Structure 1
Amino acid sequence: MGPASSLPRPRATFFRRGLARLVARWFPLLLLTVSSWAANDAPPPRDLLLSAAIARGQVFAVGERGLLYRSPDSGRHWTSVPSPTSATLTAIAFAPDETHGWAVGHDGVILGTTDAGVSWRVVYRTASVESSFLDVCVLDATHIFAVGAYGLFVEKHPGVPDWTVRRLIDDDDHFNRLARSPAGTLYLAGERGTLLRSRDAGASWQRLRSPYDGSFFGVLPLGGSTLLIYGLSGRLFRSADDGDTWQRIPTNASALLATAVRLPDGAIFLAGQAPVWLVSRDDGRSVSSCSPPATMAVAQLLLAPDGTLLAFGESGAQPLRLP
């Protein structure tokens, strides 16, 4: 048989139509398969990433230019998720149902998802694009807090469709981080020694006596009434009475501490501006320097579903080998 061009026209037309139907039927599936293979084969992103969270066994990360990524395999491979904003995203968190989630960032933007991170949309924007959200804390699918620069604090209440703007302090200090203890107590850390505590799900806030007048960038509840707070110039403090009094923990570090995580074996790792890496194996009573598993500046440490410790920062996402 000769080439297709030598076929009689009716048969050639039938052949072309059959091929067209075959392509129309199978090409989308083939394209989806190839795209899925390519996406799942994508290496860890190298963009600036500032925060990460877990939902339904997947790791989600956010960062510069509105970037959203997800990893289905604890950080080995990553897929880009469509984002409705180009503003830098600074924090992400999911509700306990792992279906509802929120991401916040610059330009006063809050994104929301109701399908476990598959799609995102803008759910709130401040009146001024000069506003910047720096963290988000989710109590459940109907109760959310977002905080940021110059005392920015907004809350989504159960049963209330709109976000409520609140003023917690008279000063314009930045609110850098929100944390929640296993018992439900909320802690807010910020610049110029700002430390606040709420024992009634955010209805009221008590200003704590601060052991330091510089910026704090995180709070790590350790269970019971024990807390760690950390910030500028390697400052690290421990409280055994829920923040009423503090003990300074020597670190021999001068770089900013930005993040801390507790591993299942009880070890606590802290990191921040390169090359500071600290570890505690006595519930935060003391720390020692360790060889940096990552040389980049780290914005967040996250324990992935498979137990891998992931670092997010100026060089993207990086799985760590712990010393």
Structure 2
Amino acid sequence: MEVLASDDHVAEGGDGLAPETARPRLKTPFLRWARTVACTFAVLAASATAVTANAETPSPAAARSLLLDACRVGNIVLAVGERGAVVRSDDSGRSWSTVHSPTEATLTGINFADATTGWIVGHDATVLKSSDGGASWSPQNTGAPEDTSFLDVLAVDANTAITVGAFGACYITSDGGHAWTRRKLLEEELHLNRLTRGRGSDVLIAGERGTLLRLADVRADPVALSTSYDGSFNGVLAIGPSQLLAYGLRGHAFRSLDDGAHWEPIGNMPAALLSTGVILSSGPVVLAGQARVILVSHDTGSTFSPWPTSLTTAVARLLEAPDGSLLAFGEGGATRLPPPAPTAPAAKP
């Protein structure tokens, strides 16, 4: 998932960008990455670093370029990115192969409902569907304008999916993608950055200008979750039955213990953009983003501490691999990392 933020919110921490004005263009959260004007995507920097550790076979160039989202389908990992790239790993990210893609548009989101049915979304109003576990993909027409930038997708079941994007774009399908319906979730045309499964059938949406929304299902009216923050949120994690963690620009992160009714800021966070988070099966919560910042929490998000890794590029997506390793996707393609310890290291005497 590629997160877009308007100039005023990228500039909130003094990054040297223009203050709030009318918004004729978008910027990705990674200042070295992509800049979009409508559906135009120009890559500013690309990394040629190796894609994996201990790879047994050469990986395609697509897996070493900009990757923006990834998901697991059983023991398979699929990732998507620039120039229509779709790549696949059957060995927890040790090696990668290219999957045929029917588009050259930048792909920003991928999600599966089950072992067979999934969707990919991206720029240029791109929506792709797979009915064979990601082995092949076919385009679908949502009816959205051609310059629509979709940023994320959530496959609820084999028939139902929701996609969101820039300037408030939101479309849903209930018939496997044969027909899509536009939804207006907000009065303002704010960027909607990330979709997350919440409790039960809840769908959580994170966006700019402090936007946090909950849908009881994809057709339900949105309920706003209010925090004290009016900058961009890039994602929200459902950590427990009633515990949520939202994260965004300049290290801003908030925690709720009552399913979003009340929020408290998480202190002592570095002032770096946080673009992705993951809850590992071993217990730790990991956040990452720009400036090579990776943070880990061993107390379900109450506190975070820096986690040193070998990464030298920005991260768009974290994913736990089937073998328990941590996969980081971003500027450097796909990188395998050993997971953090399940418990906090003992304090030095």
Percent identity reads 50
Amino acid in structure 2 at the alignment position of 1:66: G
Give SS of 1:233's match.
Answer: helix
Shift of 1:306: 1.1
1:114-134: CA deviation from partner (whole Å, max 9, x where unpaired): 111111011125442221000
Aligned residue runs from structure 1 range 237-256, under 5 A = 237-256=254-273
Does the CA contact (< 8 Å) of 1:56 and 1:116 recur in 2?
no
CA-to-aligned-CA distance 1:236-276 (integer Å, 9 cap, x gap): 10001111110000143111001111112211111000221
**Which residue of the partner structure matches residue 187 of structure 2?**
170
Q: Residue type of the partner of 1:112? A: K
CA distance in 2, matches of 1:269, 1:295: 17
1:234 touches 1:251 (CA, 8 Å); kept in 2?
Answer: no
Q: Quick one: distance in 2 between partners of 1:227 and 1:65?
A: 34
Q: What secondary structure does 1:124 align onto?
A: coil
Are positions 1:64 and 2:82 aligned together? yes
Find the counterpart in structure 2 of residue 55 from structure 1: 73
Q: What is the 5 A alignment of 1:145-164?
A: 145-158=162-175, 161-164=178-181
Alpha-carbon shift at residue 160 of structure 1 (Å)? 7.9
Tell me the residue number matched to 2:97.
Answer: 79
Alignment of 1:257-276 (within 5 A): 257-276=274-293
Q: Please give the alpha-carbon distance, in whole angstroms, between the structure 1 residues aligned to 2:109 and 2:268.
A: 27
Which stretches in structure 2 are left out of the alignment for 5+ residues?
1-54, 341-349
Relative contact order, CA 8 A, sep 6+: which one is greater? 2
Counterpart-to-counterpart distance in 2, 1:252 and 1:240: 19
SS in 1 for 2:250: helix
Say if 1:62 and 1:160 are closer, same or farther in 2 by CA, change over 3 A. Answer: closer
User: Which entry has the higher C-alpha Rg, 1 or 2?
Assistant: 1
> Unaligned regions of 5+ residues in structure 1, if any?
1-38
Alignment of 1:57-206 (within 5 A): 57-96=75-114, 98-158=115-175, 161-206=178-223
Aligned mate of 1:234, from 251, 263, 274: 251
Q: How many residue pairs get matched?
A: 284
SS where residue 83 of structure 2 aligns? helix
RMSD: 1.7
One-letter amino acid of the structure 2 residue matched with residue 67 of structure 1: A
1:320 equivalent among 312, 337, 340: 337
Determine which structure has the larger helix proportion and give its number.
1
* SS of equivalent residue, structure 2 residue 259: coil
Question: 1:40 deviation in Å?
Answer: 7.4
- SS across alignment from 2:145: coil
Moved more, 86-95 or 257-266: 257-266
Q: Tell me if structure 1 keeps the 8 A contact 2:252–2:269.
A: no
Gap change, CA 1:280 and 1:107, over 3 Å in 2: same
